[in-house]
Amino acid sequence: MARLTGDSTHPDPTHPDRDGPTLCYLGHVDTVLADASEWTRDPWSGDIADGCVWGRGSLDMKSQVAAEVAAAAGLAREGWRPARGELLVVAVVDEETGGELGAKWLCETHPEKVRCDMLLNEGGGPSFELDGRRFYGVCCAEKGVFRFTVTTDGAAAHASMPKLGENALLKMAPVLERFAGRQPTLAPTAEPLAFLRGIGEDEHDPAAALRRLGEADPRLLQMLEPMFGVTFAPTKISASEKLNVIPSKAELRVDCRVPPGLGEQEARRAIEQVLGGLDGLRMEVTERVTDGLPMEFAERVTDGLRIEFTERVTGNRSPIDSPLMDALGEWVSERDPGAKTVPTILPGFTDSRHFRAAFGECVAYGFFPQRHQSLLQTQALIHAPDERIDVRDLAFASEFYRDLAVRLLAP
Residues of the chain with pLDDT > 90: what percent?
A: 88
Decide: 53 and 47 in contact? Cβ < 8 Å. Answer: yes
- The pLDDT of residue 7: 65
CATH class entry, domain 144-187+229-309: alpha beta
Decide: 59 and 387 in contact? Cβ < 8 Å. Answer: yes
Beta bridge partners of 153: 249
DSSP secondary structure string, 231-300? EEEEEEEE--SSTTEE-SEEEEEEEEEE-TT--HHHHHHHHHHHHTTSTT-EEEEEEEEETTEEEEEEEE
DSSP E strand stretches across 67-203: 86-92, 118-121, 127-130, 133-142, 144-145, 148-153, 157-158
Q: Which of 232, 230, 250, 94 is nearest to 167 (CA)?
A: 250
pTM of the model: 0.89
Task: Please give the CATH architecture assigned to the domain spanning 2-141+317-409.
Answer: 3-Layer(aba) Sandwich (3.40)
Average pLDDT per 10 consecutive residues for the chain, totaling 411 residues: 78 58 97 97 96 97 97 96 96 93 96 97 96 96 96 94 94 95 94 97 96 94 95 97 96 97 95 82 40 40 73 96 98 97 96 96 98 96 97 98 96 61
Decide: 131 and 308 in contact? Cβ < 8 Å. Answer: no
> What would the pLDDT profile of 269-319 be if each residue is shown by its tens digit?
999 999 988 864 444 433 333 344 344 433 433 455 799 999 999 999 999
- The domain segmentation of the chain, as residue ranges, is 2-141+317-409, 144-187+229-309
The secondary element (H helix, E strand) that includes residue 195 is helix 190-198
Q: Which of 312, 325, 355, 311 is nearest to 191 (CA)?
A: 325
- The pLDDT of residue 294: 40
Query: In sequence order, what are the residues at sequence separation of 6 or more whose Cβ sits closer than 8 angstroms to the Cβ of residue 268?
Result: 283, 298
What does the buried/exposed string (b/e) look like for 104-117 if buried means 16 or more CB atoms within 10 Å of the residue's CB? bebbeeeeeebbbb
Decide: 282 and 302 in contact? Cβ < 8 Å. Answer: yes
- Give the type of residue at 212: R
